[in-house]
Amino acid sequence: MRNARKRKREKFQKKWPASARMAPTATQPMEKEAACHHTCAAVFVNPGSSTVGAHKAKGVRRQSLAGALASWLLMVAFIAIAAWQAVALAQVLANLTRSMAWQAVPAVVLNVELTSDSVKSTSPSVEDGIVFGAEGRYTYTYDGKPYTGHRLSFAQGQDNSAWHTSLWAELQSARTAGRTIPV
């Protein structure tokens, strides 16, 4: 143990000659920061004294209890949102997988609407805009029984892409022409 301390002191003295450890002049600062000889980030040398100040370990910060609590709450919130989105995506993918085994039947479009809402952006880098959604009803017969449906997609909601408007245009075209659509 004593030899290890002696080796460390010798390494330190090689890195910092006696002139760097002398009493400060008017132009020298009271403390001098130097690279440490092992995993510490820095060693603080008090000139005029032969002692070496406290070591600061890499990445270690002192933070208040409130700061730590706020960090944990933020992390938990982000994890909860990510889990919620993962569940929603899993439900859509499960529905898509199940629907691949369904037998497609012809359906008659009863009505179709393109809804729109104006959206005010909360970010200064994103412009305000309009989001669209397609809604509609259709009727079909399966296994000799008539059914009426309203689900146009497994994904819910509105967005600003052209998907909803193109779906609306396709269904509106089928309705006005009297064509059936596969469901």
- Percent of the chain past pLDDT 90, that is, above it, reads 34
In a domain, 74, yes or no: no
CA atoms of 135 and 36, how far apart (whole Å): 67
Residue pLDDT, tens place only, 158-172: 777 788 888 889 999
CA atoms of 173 and 161, how far apart (whole Å): 20
CA atoms of 158 and 167, how far apart (whole Å): 12
Mean of the pLDDT values across residues 99-104? 90
In a domain, 82, yes or no: no
Pick 32 or 2 by higher pLDDT: 2
In a domain, 69, yes or no: no
Residue pLDDT, tens place only, 80-100: 999 999 999 999 899 889 988
CA atoms of 156 and 154, how far apart (whole Å): 6
pLDDT at 47: 52
Pick 133 or 25 by higher pLDDT: 133
- Percent of the chain past pLDDT 70, that is, above it, reads 69
Residue pLDDT, tens place only, 12-59: 777 766 655 555 555 545 444 444 444 444 444 555 544 444 444 444
In a domain, 47, yes or no: yes
What is the residue range of 32's domain? 2-57
Residues 106 and 52 in one domain: no
pLDDT at 81: 96
Q: How many domains does the chain have?
A: 2
Ramachandran area for residue 102 (φ above 0: left; ψ -120 to 50: alpha; else beta): beta
In the chain, the amino acid numbered 81 is I
Residues 53 and 108 in one domain: no
In a domain, 93, yes or no: no
Residues 44 and 112 in one domain: no
In a domain, 37, yes or no: yes
Residues 53 and 110 in one domain: no
Confidence of residue 63 (pLDDT cuts 50, 70, 90): low
pLDDT at 72: 92
In a domain, 173, yes or no: yes
User: What secondary structure, in 3-state letters, does the chain show?
Assistant: CHHHHHHHHHHHHHHCCHHHHCCCCCCCCCCEEECCCCCEEEEEECCCCCCEEEEEECCCCCCCHHHHHHHHHHHHHHHHHHHHHHHHHHHHHHHHHHHCCCCCCEEEEEEEEEEEEEECCCCCCCCCEEEEEEEEEEEEEECCEEEEECCCCCCCCCECCCHHHHHHHHHHHHHHHCCEEEC
Q: Is the pLDDT of residue 127 over 60?
A: yes
pLDDT at 123: 72
In a domain, 73, yes or no: no
The pair of structure tokens assigned to 170 is 């396709």
Residues 52 and 111 in one domain: no
Which range is least confidently modeled, 63-72, 143-152, 171-180? 63-72
Pick 23 or 115 by higher pLDDT: 115
